[in-house]
Structure 1
């Protein structure tokens, strides 16, 4: 293989790797599409079964839980108390038209 062809392949591979992040669904995309909502336990929930949206909420919920644990320890609260406070705050801040969980059901705010 010529050097130019190898260089072109390396550049193409690099561009493909960078573009994968563009293909990934964002939280805003998932919420705008009605796939994801804020649930009553302080975490994101899956409104519509979608593997991309599930991957987004799994990643974000893991980060939220880590943050909630830090806040609980810092403020001498239980994880459940922090989750309840976070749920109230995130539901309050949810945009109109996005989903929230009310009494176990998904409803548009």
Structure 2
């Protein structure tokens, strides 16, 4: 019975160990891309999962904006990418047009 409590405590505390987007950016694991999405600079399964989740949410927002404004998704993503890169903190990664990563 005691082992069950240990497992339950470990599961409940997992979220405290999990990275969030800002932590992943600060650690140089994730960067901003020109298409308004984030990309994995270097990382593992957890980093890929964070990027996938963020990108799914961003795409939903971009699709809503495109639908409401009558603009193409490509245009919305390009504008969002430009804004996200402009807002990226110094020292965080951005992706260049050739696909390479560099610190801002």
TM-score relative to the length of structure 1: 0.85
Over residues 17-69 of structure 1, what are the superposed CA-to-partner deviations in whole Å (9 max), with x where a residue is unaligned? 32011121111111111111001110000111422111100000000000100
1:9-88 correspondence to structure 2 within 5 Å: 11-88=5-82
**Cα RMSD, aligned residues only:** 1.5
Q: In the aligned structure 2, how far is the partner of 1:98 from the partner of 1:46?
A: 12
Say which one has the larger Rg. Answer: 1
Going from structure 1 to structure 2, the CA distance change for 1:50 and 1:9 (only over 3 Å counts) comes to closer
SS state of the match for residue 95, structure 1?
coil
Tell me what 2:85 maps to: 91
Tell me what 1:108 maps to: 103
Select between 38-47 and 12-21 the one with higher mean Cα deviation. 12-21
TM-score relative to the length of structure 2: 0.89
Aligned residues between the structures = 103
